[in-house]
Each structure stands twice: as structure tokens, then as C-alpha cells.
Amino acid sequence: MNDDNPLNLLREDLRDFAGYSSARSEKRSGRVWLNANEAAWPSVADGEGSVRRYPDPQPQRLRETLAGLYGCEPQQLLAGRGSDEAIDLLVRALCRPGGDAIVLTPPTFGMYAVNARLHGTRTVEVALRDTPAGFACDFAAVAEAAERDNAKLVFLCSPGNPSGTLLPLAEIDALALRLRGRALVVVDEAYLEFADGASAVSLLAARRNIAVLRTLSKAHALAAARIGSVIADAELIAALQRCQAPYPLPTPCVNLALRALAEVPRNTTKARVVTAIGERERLFAALQALPGVLQVYPSQANFLLVRFDDAQAAFDGLLDAGVVVRDMRAAPQLGNALRISLGTPEQNAAVIEVLTRNAQMRGVAA
Ligand SMILES: *Cc1c(COP(=O)(O)O)cnc(C)c1O
């Protein structure tokens, strides 16, 4: 049980599973490809004829580019349809349907529980602690819960959605060490580009039971292209790929991502992130000074979590002005909170203006 090979964490019934052998995965050299029942001529909508054939399941250039971006080896990375697909793959590959458990730290991203539910997997919740410095993860309680319930997966989100909190790498490392051979610690870094901290990818060399999720959906502005990555031990990655759909990456999306990640445009991504961080600090200060705002959580992401004396009035006031924010009131511990994504400077100014007017109309004193 102390063996740290993460393949031991796979469902036992999947350890010898080879997955679907697609026509594209059979490596052959040939000039004329008549093995996949594809059309012999391109569609009229497909000018360059790049879409006629099934895509490479893991295009090497994309894998290498993403690995370079995230600081890992290409064979440690599996790209898929957003990090949402990676979450689903991890749950399906590690947890027995109808059995096994995962640990969550609410309030957190909803997809971990959704995938667990769909797969018949139990969720064990260890609430984040609401401290004056923001939400904090109780790592000791997470470790105890994972051991007690024999959890196969622990989902951590850093920076947290919606908490905005960045988790200390040393704590993640210690948790993985303690759960070695028992559970995989998943660190969802969907917002790490906006944070002042290093990726848990740096821990992989010493801890084979860590997996990191990254995405092109947030800082890279490619949400509709649906490209996310799971980064982990190379053997585990190969096993996850066998559980993945045969052709997860549409060629137009891959080409778009490669164009976006080419050297020069990458500077524009950096500029967008720098602007967002500046806006975050500006909006944070402005919201804190607003009447009717009870608390603004420090954020290492591209959104702010805000408690209001009357969240309904704030939400409705924004909506009346055409501004849609995320109502968090159904989430645990967030009964009076809204989550506001950072927009352009003009949009953020509009948020402040509407909330100011709204509070004045309700006669709330600063
Ligand atoms: C947005 C988000 C994702 C989803 O990312 P996709 O790559 O678009 O699927 C994953 N995790 C968290 C915490 C998110 O907020």
C-alpha cells in the first residue's frame, strides 16, 4: 500500500483496459488512407480541407506547446475538452461507480460534485474556513477525511473558485505525501495566471500522486475552444488517455489554440492578465468603500467575491442596468454573496456606479 505508483489508484477493473483502438491511433505509414470511413472530398465549408479527416487524438505540437507553457514534459500532459473533461476522466478512472469517495472543500467549483454524482461517487465535504484573511483550507481535516472515507481523489482549487484563495504549495505537498498510495491530490489551477504564486506542477517530480488542471478558458480567452489539460505522472496520463473519448480535440480548436499560443500573441495574454490584476485591485478598493458592501474577499483570480447587506437588491440593481453577475447565495457559507468577474475598466466602473446608486436609493449609509 505504500508503493507510490499512481497506477495503483486506478480502478482495479480498468488496470488492463486498452480503451478504443481508433483508426487514427493505429500507427501506419501510407499514402492513401482508406481505413476510417472518412469522406473522399472536403466539405464546401472546409476551405483548406483540414477537417475532412478525424483528428490526431493528442496533436504532438499542441501537447509540446502546452507542456512548454505549463513546465512539464509532453508525456505528463493530456489535453481534452476543457479541464471539465479532465475532472470527469479522473472521477471515472479512479472511482468505482456506485462506490468510492472524493473529498471536496466547499464553497468550491461545482463540477467536482456534478461528475461525482453522475458517476455514483460519494462526496465528502471539508468546508473551507472563513477567516479574517479570507477562506482557508483546513489541510489536516482534509487528510483525515480522505483517510477515514478512503477517498480516491481530493479536489483542491487554487486559486479557489469562488474563494479567490491561493493554497500554499508546502501544504499541498505535505497532503500528497500523507495520502501517498491512497489518493490522488488534484490541484485545479484554472486561475493561476492571475495569481502571485507557482504551479503545483513543480511538486510532481517528488509526488507521483498529484495531478494539476490547467485551462485555456480563462486567462487565455479561449473558453469556446474547450481546451484544458491534466498534468500528472506520465504512466497515469497514459492510463487516463485510454479512458478518454477517441477524438477529443477538434482540429479548428487545436489550430486556434496554436495560433494563440504562438510567441507574439502570448504577450497580449500577459497584457490582458496585467490589466485584469490592476482592475482587481481597483475594484477591490472601490467595493470596500461602498455602502451596503459587508466584505470583499482578497482574490488571486479574475473575479471578486463580495458580501452585501442586501445581496438581492445588489443583484437586481445590476441586472436592471444590464449587468449580470454570479449569484452565490445557494453555496455553503455564501448566503449573502455575489461573485463579480472582472470586466473591462468601463464595465467595472459601471458596476461601481450602479451599486453606489443602488445603495443611495435604499438609503444605506457608508
Ligand atoms: C472555469 C473553471 C474550470 C473549467 O474550465 P474549462 O477548461 O473551461 O472546462 C475548471 N475549474 C475551475 C475552478 C473553473 O473555475
Give the model's pLDDT for residue 99.
85
- CA of residue 347 to ligand 1 center, whole Å: 23
If one compares 27 and 216, the residue with the highest pLDDT of the two is 216
Give the model's pLDDT for residue 24.
75
Query: Distance (Å, rounded) from C-alpha 68 to C-alpha 62?
Result: 10
In the chain, the percentage of residues whose pLDDT exceeds 70 is 98
Q: Are 311 and 341 in contact (CB under 8 A)?
A: no
Mutation choice for ligand 1 from 156, 214, 215, CB with most ligand atoms inside 8 A: 215
Average pLDDT over residues 296-316: 97
Alpha helices in 20-138 (DSSP H): 60-70, 82-94, 111-119
Contacts of 336 (CB under 8 A, 6+ apart): 294, 307, 308, 309, 311, 329
Average pLDDT over residues 245-273: 91
Q: Are 1 and 176 in contact (CB under 8 A)?
A: no
Per DSSP, the three-state class of 180 is coil
- CA of residue 7 to ligand 1 center, whole Å: 25
Give the model's pLDDT for residue 366.
54
Q: Count CB-CB contacts under 10 A for residue 118.
A: 12
- CA of residue 186 to ligand 1 center, whole Å: 13
218-242 per-position pLDDT tens digit: 999 999 999 999 999 999 999 999 9
- CA of residue 55 to ligand 1 center, whole Å: 24
Best CA proximity match to 243, nearest among 82, 64, 113, 94: 94
Q: What residues does each domain of the chain span?
A: 6-261, 274-362
Query: Distance (Å, rounded) from C-alpha 248 to C-alpha 267?
Result: 28
165-201 per-position pLDDT tens digit: 999 999 999 999 999 999 999 999 999 999 999 999 9
204-219 per-position pLDDT tens digit: 999 999 999 999 999 9
Taking CA atoms only, the protein residue closest to ligand 1 atom 2 is 190
Please state which CATH class domain 274-362 belongs to: alpha beta
**What's the CATH fold of domain 6-261?**
Aspartate Aminotransferase; domain 2 (3.40.640)
Query: Distance (Å, rounded) from C-alpha 7 to C-alpha 154?
Result: 16
Average pLDDT over residues 115-133: 97
What's the pTM? Answer: 0.96
**In the predicted structure, residue 26 carries a pLDDT above the cut 50:** yes
- CA of residue 83 to ligand 1 center, whole Å: 6
DSSP string, 181-249: TT-EEEEE-TTGGGSSS--GGGGTTT-TTEEEEEESSSTTS-GGG-EEEEE--HHHHHHHHHHS-S--S
Give the model's pLDDT for residue 365.
61
Q: Are 160 and 128 in contact (CB under 8 A)?
A: yes
Give the model's pLDDT for residue 20.
85
- Ligand 1 binding residues, C-beta < 6 A: 82-84, 109, 157, 161, 188, 190, 215, 217, 223, 228
Per DSSP, the three-state class of 153 is strand
Taking CA atoms only, the protein residue closest to ligand 1 atom 11 is 190
40-92 per-position pLDDT tens digit: 999 999 988 999 999 999 999 999 999 999 999 999 999 999 999 999 999 99
**Separation in Å, CA 22 to CA 30, 67, 245, 298:** 16, 25, 10, 47
Tell me whether the CATH fold assigned to 6-261 matches the one assigned to 274-362.
no
β-strand pairing of 303-308 with 326-327: unpaired
Mutation choice for ligand 1 from 89, 105, 217, CB with most ligand atoms inside 8 A: 217
For the CA atoms of the chain, what is the radius of gyration? 22
The band of 28, judged by pLDDT with boundaries at 50, 70 and 90, is confident
